[in-house]
A = this chain, B = another copy of it.
Amino acid sequence: MKTYRIKAGAGVAGLELHDRPSSALGPRDIRVQMRAVSLNARDLAFANGTFPNTPDHSLVPLVDGHGQVIEVGSEVSRFAPGDNVITTYYPHWEEGEIAPAKVDISLGVQVDGTLCEERVASEAWFVRAPAMLDVHGAATLSCAGLTAWNALFCAGGLKPGASVLLLGTGGVSIWALQLAHAAGLRPIVLSSQDEKLEKTRLLGAKETLNYRRHPEWQDEVMRLTEGQGVDLVVEVGGEGTLARSLQACRMGGKVVVIGRVAGGGAASIPPGALIGGAKQLQGITTGSRAILEDLCRFVDAHRIAPVVDRVFAFGEARAAYEHLAASRHFGKVVIDVAG
Contact = CB atoms under 8 A, between A and B. Distances in A.
Interface in A17-73: 52
B271 A161 contact: no
A202 interface: no
A290 B96 contact: yes
A335 interface: no
Given A100-B251, A283-B280, A301-B206, A257 B242 contact: no
Nearest to A261: B271
Nearest to A154: B159
Chain copies in the assembled complex:
4
A252 B182 contact: no
A277 B264 CA distance: 15
A323 B102 CA distance: 45
A325 interface: no
A259 interface: yes
Interface string A161-201: 10000000000000000010011101000000000000000
Given A161-B297, A277-B283, 8 more contacts: A95-B96, A159-B294, A183-B184, A257-B275, A258-B275, A261-B272, A264-B272, A280-B283
16 contacts: A52-B272, A96-B96, A96-B290, A98-B252, A153-B159, A161-B302, A184-B298, A261-B271, A266-B268, A266-B269, A267-B271, A269-B269, A269-B281, A274-B283, A275-B285, A279-B283
